[in-house]
Amino acid sequence: IGLLLCTDTQPFLAWKMSREQLVVQRARQSFQTGKTKPLEYRILQLKRLQVFLRERRKELADSLKKDLNKSECGAELFEIVVVEAEIKLAIESVAEWSAPRPVHKSLVTISDEVYVKPEPLGVVLIIGPWNYPLALVLLPLVGAIAAGNAAVMKPSDLSTNTSNLLKELLHHYIDEDAYPVVTGGVPETQELLKQRFDHVFYTGSTTVGKIVMEAAAQHLTPVTLELGGKSPCYIDKNCDIAIACRRITWGKFINCGQTCIAPDYILCEPSIQNRVLEEIKKSVKEFYTDNPKTSEDYGCIINHRQFRRIMGLMEGTTIAFGGDADESRCYIAPTVLKNVTGESKIMKEEIFGPLLPILTVSGVDEAIQFINRGEKPLVVYVFSHDNKSSLPFGGVGHSGMGHYRGRHSFDQLSHLRSCLIKQLSMEALNGVRYPPHTAKKLGW
C-alpha cells in the first residue's frame, strides 16, 4: 500500500510510512497546493456533500438502522437534515464569513488600514463518536471545508456500518486527497494522533478527550473537544410538569439515551416526585407504546459492552418503571429510578443510556449546590417559567473546550489573522517612536 500511494519523488520514504501517515501527508500536500482555499472550490465541495446526502440517503439510513436501530425518521431528522441545514448555511454565508472584518482603530493605528482576515488553519483531524456517527463527523467537516482547510476524518469503529459507508462512498463525491476517511479503532486513531495537524476536532468521552489533548500538545496543535458529562434537569414545582416531563422523556430516550446532551438525571422536590414519574410514564407510552421493544422509534444500545455497563448502573437503585432488558438485542427499556442519592453508582458517571434517576432536593438552592459539587455538565435544563435560548454548541471543563456550528465552526477552524497595512508616507507621525526619547520630542 505504501508504494502504491507514495509520490514519485519520495518512494522509499513512503514505503516506510503507515497508512495513516500517508493519508495525512496527502491531505497536507493537497492543502499546500492551495486548492482548498478558493471560495469556488469550497462551495463546490459543499455542494458535492449535499449530493452525497441526497443520493445516498437510503444506504445511510440503512447503516444507521444496523448500527443503532435508528428509525428512518430518526436518521433523517437527527443525522441527515441537520447536516443539510449546516451545509446550506455555509454555502450561503461562506463569502461573508471569509471576507476581511473591519476593526476599530486605536490612536496607534489611526492612519493605517486594519482588519481581521480569516485564513484556513491547514489540515484538521476530525475524530467522531458512534452515537450520531454521521452528523458528528460531517458537521465539523462542513466547518473545515467552509474555512478552506483540508480534513482527515476518523469515524468511530463502533458504528461500523456507517463508518465503512463513509469510507466507501464519500470519495466518489468530495475530493479524496483533501478529505479522506480513515477507519479503525484505538491503534489507528493513536497513529493518526502522532501526526502533525493544525487543529484536532474531537467528539467523544472525557477520558479519551484527555488522550487526544495530550497527543495534540506534542505538536502544540489546538483542539476542540466536544465531550459529555452528567446534564441535570431541574423541575420547579410551579412549572407545567406535564410539558416538562414530555420534553425530558423525548430528550432522554431518543437514541436510547445515547446523546451527549441527553438529560442525565432529574432534580425535584419530594412533593412532585410521584407526579413527575407518572407524567414520564405517560409520555413513554405515548412515544413508544406499552412495549417499546417493538416500537419502530425506539433504538438499541450500541454493543454488548455498553449494554452491560448500563445494566450495572442500576445496582442498588429502586426501579419505578421499566427495567426490562434483552442482551441478545441490546435492548434496555426506558427506565426511571426513584429516590436515588448522590452516592449511588449511577451518579458517578455519565449514564449514556435509557436510565433516568430522580433525586429529590429541598428546592432550587440545594439543586444548585448539588450540581456545583460535580464536574461542569454539558447542559443544565431548568424547567421554570423563564425563557432560554442557545447559539454555539460546546462545553467547558470536563464537558469540553471550544464551540462550533454555523459561523462558529468557521471561526473555530480559521486563523483570524490581524492585518495592519501601514503607509510608507506620513513618516513624521512615527517620529515619536524612535529613540532617542528626549523630553523635547515627547513634548514634556
| Residues belonging to the active site | 226
Radius of gyration of the chain (CA): 26
Among 146, 378, 379, 401, binds ligand NAD (CB under 6 A): 378
Q: Binding residue for ligand NAD (CB under 6 A) from 73, 81, 186, 420? A: 186
Interacting residue with ligand NAD among 169, 211, 396, 419 (CB under 6 A)? 211
Q: C-alpha grid cell for residue 142?
A: 462542513
Does residue 129 bind ligand NAD (CB under 6 A)?
yes
**Phi-psi domain of 23 (left: phi exceeds 0; alpha: psi -120 through 50; beta: other):** alpha
Q: How far is the CB of 136 from ligand NAD (least distance, A)?
A: 6
By CB under 6 A, residue 79 contacts ligand NAD: no
Q: Given the rule CB under 6 A, which of 47-55, 67-75, 199-207, 408-416 is the region that contacts ligand NAD?
A: 199-207
Q: Does 189 bind ligand NAD (CB under 6 A)?
A: yes
How many CA atoms, within 13 angstroms, populate the side-chain half-sphere of residue 157? 8
Task: Examine residue 292 and tell whether it contacts ligand NAD (CB under 6 A).
Answer: no
Q: 130, 78, 59, 129: which is closest to 300 by C-alpha?
A: 130
Which residues lie below 8 Å from residue 387, measured CB to CB, with a gap of 6+?
none
Q: Taking CB under 6 A as the rule, does residue 409 contact ligand NAD?
A: no
Residue 393's Cβ-side half-sphere holds a number of Cα atoms within 13 Å equal to 15
Q: Does 270 bind ligand NAD (CB under 6 A)?
A: no
- Judged by CB under 6 A, the stretch of 143-151, 173-181, 182-190, 356-364 that binds ligand NAD is 182-190
Could you say whether residue 400 binds ligand NAD (CB under 6 A)? Answer: yes
Interface with ligand NAD (CB under 6 A), residue from 204, 232, 257, 292: 204
Among 226, 236, 264, 279, binds ligand NAD (CB under 6 A): 226
Q: Is residue 136 involved in binding ligand NAD (CB under 6 A)?
A: yes
Q: Rounded CA gap, 83 and 279, in Å?
A: 33
The binder of ligand NAD chosen from 128, 148, 334, 354 (CB under 6 A): 128
**How many Å separate Cα 284 from the centre of its chain?**
27
The answer to whether residue 232 forms part of the interface with ligand NAD (CB under 6 A) is no
Closer CB to ligand NAD, 36 or 163, in the complex: 163
Backbone φ and ψ of 64, nearest 5° = -70, -30
Is 154 a binding residue for ligand NAD by CB under 6 A? The answer is yes
Q: Does 224 bind ligand NAD (CB under 6 A)?
A: no
Instruction: Determine, following the binding rule CB under 6 A, whether residue 396 of this chain makes contact with ligand NAD.
Output: no
Residue 140 binds ligand NAD, judged by CB under 6 A: no
Residue in 83, 65, 254 with CA at minimum distance from that of residue 170: 83
Q: Where are the beta strands (DSSP E) in 277-321?
A: 318-321
For 33-88, the DSSP string reads HTTT-SHHHHHHHHHHHHHHHHHTHHHHHHHHHHHH---HHHHIIIIIHHHHHHHH
Peptide bond into 357 cis (omega under 30): no
Calpha distance 360→341 (Å, rounded):
8
Q: Is 354 in the site for ligand NAD (CB under 6 A)?
A: no
User: Among all residues, whose Cβ is closest to ligand NAD?
Assistant: 228
Query: What is the DSSP secondary-structure string of 135-197?
Result: HHHHHHHHHHHHTT-EEEEE--SSSHHHHHHHHHHGGGTS-TTTS-B---SHHHHHHHHHS--
Residue 160, interface with ligand NAD (CB under 6 A)?
Answer: no
32-71: which residues touch ligand NAD (CB under 6 A)? none
Cβ closer to ligand NAD: 98 or 258?
258
Based on the shown chain and the rule CB under 6 A, indicate whether residue 157 belongs to the binding site for ligand NAD: yes
Q: Kindly state the DSSP code that residue 376 receives in the 8-state scheme.
A: P
Q: Evaluate whether 182 touches 161 at the Cβ level (below 8 Å).
A: no
Residues forming contacts to ligand NAD in the complex (CB under 6 A) are 127-131, 136, 154, 156-157, 185-186, 189-190, 203-205, 208, 211, 226-228, 260, 350, 352, 378, 395, 400
